Structure 1
Amino acid sequence: MVHSIVSLEEKDQLVFHENDSFERRKAHRKTRYPEAISARYIINNPNACYLFKTVSCLILVYSKTRYWIARKKLRQTWINATHYKPQNVVFMFLLGTSDNPKLQEIIKNENTKYQDILQGDFVDSYRNLTNKGVMGFRWVTEYCRNAEMVIKIDDDAYINMFKLLKNFSYLKDRKKFIYCNTVKKDIMSIQRNISNKWYVQEDSFRGYSYYPHTYCSGIVVILSTDIIPSLYRAAMMTPFFWVDDFYLFGILPSRIPGVRFEDMGINYTSTYMESIKCLTEMRSRCHYLVMMINTVRIKHIWNAVLQTWS
């Protein structure tokens, strides 16, 4: 396994060879693998990280194609790299495709202005989040190995980057490391009821009642960059499974020796009122690193953060 930063030439050869092998396997098997392993980028920003010698943190934000107004509001608050100078922080919104030509034109114009969108050639849907994640792993492997750490985050979550860069800088030195809200193996039931949102067909994990690997609740996941090329390679050998949290942060890490999980614990809250109370009353002593948001509440949370951290 290759964990160090390699030259662009070596990296290109590595990716070509692995994708070529993947295409040969796909041609001879009916097993489905993630499309994003080899799907083209419809929109790409290949130089986003290489503008810097070192990227302090890369944040991959899962967003739906139609949420362009939400992306605009997020850029007006915390998703703006200028807030975190002199640290080099890079944000990238991850999207699939839309069959709406007008919406696609909006997305193209949005990227022309902000240059922070990565769009893959797969349908943007809830059951395709696994492809979105694999695309992120692939992009980091190809274009952002100079990041000191990588964060995957949903667009309805907020991570206090001021607090992260100041109080959690030790994470940059970790290897084969995943920091998240962990779900221990054999705890979470595999849902077989077809009416359930997380329904899993009987031919997936046949004979299992519970998910057999520790994994992350994927609202926010912080990863050491060294592990990501290995996760991408593992996806080439791992059949597609639509429950993205388990596939990306459970199955794939289980294929890599020595991966360590650390639970986020009290550093996370899903309650808006708890977030505001903690930020306004405890200010810099507020222990929450991750909070749930929407496009209205983020303004209040962001203002409370700025009063303490800016």
Structure 2
Amino acid sequence: MKWITCYVGFLVFLIFFSWCSVLYILPYLKASYMTPSSKEVELVIPKQDNGDFNSTSPPENFSREVEPPKPAKQFTDSDKYLIESEKSGTNMLLDLPLRFSGLRSKEVELVMPKRHKEDFNFTSLPENFSRNVEPQKPAKHFTIRPEQIENTNSSYFVIFLVKSSCLFGTRRNCVRNTWGAVTEVNGKRFAVVFLIGVCPDEPSQASVQAESEKFGDILQSDVSDGYRDLADKVLSGYQWVYYHPKVTSDFYASTDDDCVINLALIYDYFLSNQKQFEAEPAVHCGFRYNEYERPVRGSSKYSVSKSIYPFDAFPPFCHGGLSVMPRAHLSDIYRQAEITERGDFHLEDVYINGILRSRLGKGNATIRRTYLESAQRHVPLYLGPFMWHVGYGIEIEENFDFAWRVVFNLMTVKVNNTSFTGFWPSSKYFHASARPYISIPSRVGIGTFFNDNFGFYKVLSGS
């Protein structure tokens, strides 16, 4: 019996000890382990030898004083806005150093040096793009035609073929209310034609039809309205130009419905060099010129499989934001399109400005980098880039108004019988006429706005 009593007593002691551990010891240990100030790491990691360790001062590159950045140049009334040049009146756009601006402009990319790649060598097109096929038009018929232009049978300086989509009515109205409302600059006429494919349903088709009846600036074809058939949509615009000789233009530009076009610079640049550009037909890259581009493999939006394009180098091409060409070059490109099998190749800028252009057999003589080519300019003022791509975010209307405020103030714009003189000194050179529904930007704070968003550095001084 005695040993039984001892055993029971021992069990009672164990139970009591366990109960005390749960109530007092474990919570204390848990709190000590979880507290931020605990040193549990030191318990499991041996101390390092500190004999040669000395943290009495930071490294030299963090301790030395540096020169503070120079403040951005601010414009004053006494500033001269003339771009300096080694040769007066020529080469004023060569190597112009520019800065990024709040307008999301791409000036810097336009003047970046070539990316030399020793292993990059475009020599020829794949066989599937080199052979000729039976002629076939990109569009079989047009559902809606731009009657506002066709009915005039007039000549234009530039007709802009604007890539759009059935559901992008807001973007088209942004264009119509801003740069698309300008009908002429110094007597040279401009026009806008929106390129649209097949609408996804009857309500959207009815909306586009009503839009066309109101503005008369839509060309709708039977090609797909999706991104992967964008090349056919652009070529349907070329087809309309090629087979409609009554509507003529000196130059044709391809752009997007989320871009703001700098009409003053377009006018000055292409009028100043018109004879040369018409004598040497080529596509002019108003957005960006790409000489070294490889196909993207994989599953991205821009991927092209080897079965579609087996080679590892694209021909040089203009990116799709803005490309400008005379009618002769557009006709040459379009004729190649009718006898080339596009297949599933969907990158419209590579296909039209690269592949079809290369089929002409003239090498890089048919493509020009606008900012880097030697060219004349009649107006010796900084006018910014040829275009701004403003459709990156959802605030498309706000972005349009932002860039349009610059473009408008480069000119003097006449609306009905009222003239609005722009802030920039170039407004005395460019006199534009516009439709009555054009948006008139506010003049409040215009000087500060240009200081913040339209800066430049002088060519020679680099200041």
Range into which the TM-score falls when normalised by the shorter chain? 0.7 to 0.9
1:177–1:260 Cα contact (<8 Å) kept: yes
Structure 2 equivalent of residue 126 of structure 1: 227
Counterpart in 2 of 1:198?
A: 302
User: Displacement, 1:266?
Assistant: 7.4
Give the conservation status (yes or no) of the 8 Å contact 2:147–2:216.
no
Q: Say if 2:209 is the partner of 1:108.
A: yes
Q: Shift of the alpha carbon at 1:129?
A: 0.5
Q: CA–CA distance in 2 between the matches of 1:296 and 1:47?
A: 28
User: Which secondary structure state, in structure 2, belongs to the residue aligned with residue 285 of structure 1?
Assistant: coil
Tell me how far apart the structure 1 counterparts of residues 176 and 381 of structure 2 sit (CA, whole Å). Answer: 23
Partner of 1:59: 160
For residue 75 of structure 1, the aligned residue among 176, 185, 194 is 176
Cα distance in 2 for residues equivalent to 1:46 and 1:251:
32
Which residue number in structure 2 is paired with residue 41 of structure 1?
142
1:183 aligns with 2:287: no
What corresponds to 1:4 in structure 2?
Answer: none
Q: Aligned partners of 1:85, 1:74: CA distance in 2, in Å?
A: 21
Aligned CA distance change for structure 1 residues 66 and 81 (closer, same or farther; 3 Å): same
Superposition pairs for residues 263-278 of structure 1, below 5 Å? 263-265=369-371
C-alpha deviation, 1:225, in angstroms:
1.0
| Residues 95/249 of structure 1: CA separation in 2 closer, same or farther (3 Å cut) | same
Partner of 1:11: none
Deviations 1:138-171 (A, max 9, x none): 1111125621001000112222112211343134
- Give the direction of change, closer, same or farther, for the CA distance of 1:214–1:288 in structure 2 (3 Å limit): same
Alignment match, 1:292: 389
Moved more, 236-245 or 158-167: 158-167
Number of paired residues?
259
Q: TM-score, normalised by structure 1?
A: 0.76
Greater share of residues in strand: 1
Q: Which has the larger radius of gyration?
A: 2
Compute the TM-score of the two structures, normalised by the length of structure 2. Answer: 0.52
Distance, in Å, in 2 between the alignment partners of 1:83 and 1:229 is 25
In the alignment, does 2:368 pair up with 1:262? Answer: yes
Output the CA distance in 2 between the equivalents of 1:290 and 1:38.
29
Give the superposition deviation at 1:83: 5.6
- Structure 2 distance, partners of 1:220, 1:107, is 24
Q: Which stretch has the larger CA shift, 36-45 or 87-96?
A: 36-45
Which residue of 2 is the match for residue 13 of structure 1?
Answer: none
Q: Distance in 1 between matches of 2:159 and 2:183?
A: 14
Q: State whether residues 63 and 154 of structure 1, in contact with CA within 8 Å, keep that contact through their aligned partners in structure 2.
A: yes
Render the CA deviation track for 1:256-286: whole Å, top value 9, x for unaligned: 244521113479xxxxxxxxxxxxxxx9523
CA separation of 1:47/1:116 partners in 2, compared to 1, >3 Å: closer, same or farther?
closer
Shift in Å at residue 177 of structure 1? 1.4
Distance (Å, rounded) in 2 between the aligned partners of 1:127 and 1:191: 15
User: 2:340 corresponds to which residue?
Assistant: 238
* Matched letter for residue 192 of structure 2: F
2:410 corresponds in structure 1 to: 308
For the residue of structure 2 that corresponds to 1:300, the secondary structure is helix
Q: Is the 8 A contact 2:161 2:237 kept in 1?
A: yes
Q: Following the alignment from structure 1 to structure 2, what is the Cα–Cα distance between the partners of residues 68 and 287?
A: 28
Q: What secondary structure sits across from 2:254 in the alignment?
A: strand
Aligned residue in 1 for 2:28: none
Mind listing any 5+ residue stretches in structure 1 that lack a counterpart?
Answer: 1-23, 27-32, 268-282
Cα distance in structure 1, aligned partners of 2:229 and 2:210? 24
On the 8 A contact 2:264/2:410 being kept in 1, the answer is no
Structure-1 residue corresponding to 2:353: 249
Contact 1:149 1:172 in 2 (8 A): no
In the TM superposition, residue 217 of structure 1 has moved relative to its aligned partner by 0.9
CA separation of 1:306 and 1:25: change in aligned 2, threshold 3 A: closer
The two structures, once aligned, show a CA RMSD in angstroms of 2.4
What is the match of residue 36 of structure 2? none
User: What is the distance in 1 between the residues matched to 2:410 and 2:347?
Assistant: 38
For structure 2, the 5+ residue unaligned runs are 1-132, 374-379, 391-395, 413-463
Distance 1:299 1:266, change over 3 A: farther
Contact 1:60 1:151 in 2 (8 A): yes
For the residue of structure 1 that corresponds to 2:249, the secondary structure is coil
Distance, in Å, in 1 between the alignment partners of 2:269 and 2:207 is 38
Q: As a proportion of its length, which structure holds more helix?
A: 1
